[in-house]
Amino acid sequence: MHSLLLPRTLLASAAALLLNAASAAPAPQQAPFSFDQAPGHLPKNVIPVNYDVSIVPDVDKRTLRGKETVELLFREASATIQFNAIDMRFQQVRFDGKPVKSTVIDAKRQIVSVTLPKPAAPGNHTLTLAYTAKIETGPRGLFAQPFVKPDGSKDILLSTQFEATDARRMFPCWDEPAFRSTFQLTTTTPAKWVSISNMPVTKRTVKGDTATTSFARSPKMPSYLIELTSGDMASISTKAGNTDINVWAVRGQEQNGAVALSNARQILLDYNEYFDHPFPLPKLDAIAVPGGFQGAMENWGAITYNDQTLLLTPASTIDNRQLVFSIEAHEMAHQWFGDLVTMGWWDDIWLNESFASWLTAKETEMRNPTWHVREQEDGGKEAAMRVDARIDSKPVHNPVIDELAPENGADGLIIYNKGQAVLRMLEAYIGPDTFRTGIRAYMKDRAYSNATSVDLWNALSKASGSDIGALAHLWINQPGFPIVSVAATCDAAGARTIQLTQQRFLLQGSDTAHQHWNVPLRLRIGADAQPQSLLFTEPGQRVAAGRCDQALSINAGADGFFRTAYDDATLHTNAQQFRSLPAGDRIALLDDQWAQVEQGTQPLASYLSLVAAMGDDPNERAWNQIIEALSTVEQAERGTPGHAAYLAYASKLLKPVATRLGWQPAADETAGVQRLRRSIIGRLGAWGDQEIVAQARQRFAAFLKDRQSITPDEQGMILTIVAQNADAATFEQLHAVAKGAANETEVRRYYPILMRVRDPQLAAQAAAIALSPEIPAQAEVLRLGLVFGLNDANPQLSWQTFTTNVDRLTASNPGNRPNVLAKSTPGVYWSSVPLDKMSEWIKAHLDAGMTSTLEDNLAYARFRLDEKARLVQAANQITGG
């Protein structure tokens, strides 16, 4: 599943809500997958082989009627059958055609127990039943999604979201990933609708105003990957090898899927070759759902996407196009990692998500090299490292006791981004060809079955001739990561020897467990040398490292998931030669120095000296890192006497690159340089650069007369600067632009801009707009982000609006409400509201079981407040503020 916040920075998905608290010590090494030993709550003495499911939804009543036949294999004699269901009523429950003794529903455990008149003999038997269930209003189970068409008319469609435990809302099933079965679906819906599922349509019969659609039987698969979408939709199609590829959208919008269709064809061909295992289903559908959920879901052969992550219009930006490619590559990677081979239990969800994220970056880099995705990956890695540097962080792999418990919520940055970074580090260490050989063997061995981490490590170990399991175990099974300290000594001839030590890197607290990692280093001596692999295993390990007057990186290309602390002399040499270092090495140095500033172990001046050394070099990722760091200090300085002096200082650091890039793009500019221009100008505008504000106003005035005068890529930056400096008349002009949005792409661009106004009275109007009917039904999930967006300039208004309307703001995705309260709320309002007041309010609204998660995030908020005070003091010493 791809859950959306920023491109290639993937946040928690429904699947990631399945990790519980971790101890500091690494978990014991797993065993290879065994069905009998796979965790879960359902007994394995009776297992499903084939399902036949027929449903008749009643959209108006939000209910459905279903009939189901399940062929069962009794592995031993038993008088009891257990499976999962929720919010269902059963009728006509029959076993081998005869009534059963009893059917008992345990609503809390979501388990149904069917008792037979007498034990059934081992072998094949049949269970049949009829049932009624609910159609959900949020993205879980079978849900109804209302939306507004481009012509303003209202409509509705049905779609599904089953990961992790919600297939049981649409049909009774063995809803655990180890139970792989075949499925044959039939549905009856309005005749004007089409229905789409994992397999091709085999029969469609129209009777009056309804149509009954049947689909071919699927291969063996877990229940959470079943998909069904029904609505007034149309498609465009192509073919990749023997596979039919279709992009489905609300009728009239299907042509907006042309780029996605082309992407899908190329990606599928590339993945067929990479895995050496062609996509096994006869067709692959990409289904654009208008709202309902963020991101996408990898249902086998029928991937569902929020339509804003699949469809492109003339209003779309290059960022939109890159996001579409990225999410398609991620979900299509799941067709192998997750669908063809499925984790045995939810503790190994990283086998799905980390690998999909890793392969996405690889595919994107290959097909779009000018996007510099490897450098951009660093942003996602840094986000994960920030989470993983907390004392309460959790490992990538962690046992799940109760998949239904809300406290299972772990940060998706660990599941997606840390796991991806560890895989990238391992690939760099053993080499990409060897890594691919291992992946191909893993797919061949585990196809149409399940796996644990050990199955993967065994395949990579065999391919590489090294014990990859022993290396990977500590990175996957214990939380955190090390900071590797480098102490250099030089002999009389200038030859350098380095001594390496490590300890866990923590932003706060201490590592009482004294954790240890075997660290794959990539050693580069000098600015131009090729990096060499080195495994750091022993405390005090000594390595010859060239001459003392040469730059040194032990994390060349920023491939490693660790921090580096160089001794003063080596850091000074690296700073002197900073401009000549490869981009990845510069990025790693900036990342590590800023992290140590936040930790309080390095002075702010040491980081700023590297920033000054950047000059006007237009490296996007480096400057994005710098802008984020400078902005952190600026936010800390707000309301202090030193704020103005700091703004002048920080603006001076950005000015050289702003001057070099100017306002007008050159003909041969990459997308990254264009984004950098927008980031730099946008930040200077936010900091009150009057020349930039005047330029933005001038361009906005032209935009009001001619909407083609500003490209879609530049609209967000220019209109945001205007909004931040808006008076009442300008705000009304911006509001009119938002109300006149031609499509949802523009809705999602223009309405967040309104929230950036600084004037309190205008911000109050913006808050009312965020809650108004102007936001279309399919963009309902946008409201929460709009209210959070008010916090930057009007924190008290944002808090009041959020707390007063929390039920409405979380209603569109009720499954995510616990995370919104326990994680997002402290993350947004940590400096806006006294923490005791915030804690009291959250606890009054928080679901049971999330208290420890809340306390962890409040502890981090206290760290942020301490950091804020340190940064103000350090900045004032530099600027004289």
> What pLDDT digit, counting tens, does each position of 259-280 carry?
999 999 999 999 999 999 999 9
Closest CA to 120 of 80, 82, 78, 72: 78
Strand order in the sheet with 154-161: 141-148, 154-161, 228-231, 194-197
**What is the structure's pLDDT at 27?**
59
Residue among 176, 227, 298, 331 flagged as catalytic: 331
What does the block give as tokens for 118? Answer: 């007498």
**What is the structure's pLDDT at 34?**
96
Q: Do residues 750 and 315 lie in contact, with contact meaning Cβ atoms separated by under 8 Å?
A: no
Least confident segment among 23-27, 146-150, 873-877: 23-27
E strand intervals along 191-242: 194-197, 201-207, 210-215, 228-231, 233-240
- On average, the pLDDT of the chain sits at 93
Spatial distance between the Cα atoms of 226 and 53, rounded to a whole number of angstroms: 11
Q: Which residue has the tokens 């669908």?
A: 339
**What is the structure's pLDDT at 243?**
97
Strand order in the sheet with 532-536: 532-536, 519-525, 552-553
Q: Which residues are annotated as a binding site for Zn(2+)?
A: 330, 334, 353
Q: What separation in angstroms does the CA of 825 have from each of 88, 741, 802, 831, 854?
A: 34, 30, 9, 11, 9
**What is the structure's pLDDT at 28?**
64
Summarize the confidence of residues 450-465 as an average pLDDT.
96
E strand intervals along 264-301: 283-289, 296-297
Summarize the confidence of residues 83-110 as an average pLDDT.
97
**What is the structure's pLDDT at 816?**
85
Summarize the confidence of residues 485-514 as an average pLDDT.
94
Contacts of 105 (CB under 8 A, 6+ apart): 85, 88, 90, 111, 112
Contacts of 445 (CB under 8 A, 6+ apart): 455, 459
> What are the tens digits of pLDDT across the range 305-359?
999 999 999 999 999 999 999 999 999 999 999 999 999 999 899 999 999 999 9
Whether the predicted pLDDT of 701 surpasses 50: yes
**What is the structure's pLDDT at 294?**
81
Q: Do residues 673 and 371 lie in contact, with contact meaning Cβ atoms separated by under 8 Å?
A: no
Reported for 432-440, long-range contacts at CB under 8 A and 24+ positions apart, including other chains, are: 434/463, 434/464, 435/460, 435/463, 435/464, 436/274, 437/463, 438/462, 438/463, 438/464, 438/468, 439/274, 439/275, 440/275, 440/276, 440/277
Q: Which residues are annotated as a binding site?
A: 330, 334, 353
Spatial distance between the Cα atoms of 717 and 693, rounded to a whole number of angstroms: 11
> What are the tens digits of pLDDT across the range 175-222?
999 999 999 999 999 999 999 999 999 999 999 999 999 999 999 999
Reported for 768-776, long-range contacts at CB under 8 A and 24+ positions apart, including other chains, are: 769/735, 769/738, 770/801, 771/801, 771/805, 771/808, 774/738, 774/739, 775/747, 775/751, 776/147, 776/148, 776/291, 776/744, 776/747
pLDDT band at 409 (very low <50, low <70, confident <90, very high): low
pLDDT band at 509 (very low <50, low <70, confident <90, very high): confident
Whether the predicted pLDDT of 813 surpasses 90: no
pLDDT band at 864 (very low <50, low <70, confident <90, very high): very high
Q: Do residues 74 and 82 lie in contact, with contact meaning Cβ atoms separated by under 8 Å?
A: no
pLDDT band at 2 (very low <50, low <70, confident <90, very high): low
Whether the predicted pLDDT of 13 surpasses 50: no
**What is the structure's pLDDT at 3?**
53
Note the pTM of the prediction, 2 decimals: 0.91
Closest CA to 216 of 275, 302, 145, 143: 302
E strand intervals along 270-421: 283-289, 296-297, 302-306, 341-343
Contacts of 320 (CB under 8 A, 6+ apart): 308, 312, 745
Summarize the confidence of residues 3-7 as an average pLDDT.
39
pLDDT band at 11 (very low <50, low <70, confident <90, very high): very low
What the chain holds in terms of domains, given with CATH numbers, is 15-32+339-477 (1.10.390.10), 46-334 (2.60.40.1730), 482-580 (2.60.40.1910)
pLDDT band at 410 (very low <50, low <70, confident <90, very high): low
**What is the structure's pLDDT at 328?**
98
331 is catalytic: yes
Whether the predicted pLDDT of 402 surpasses 80: no
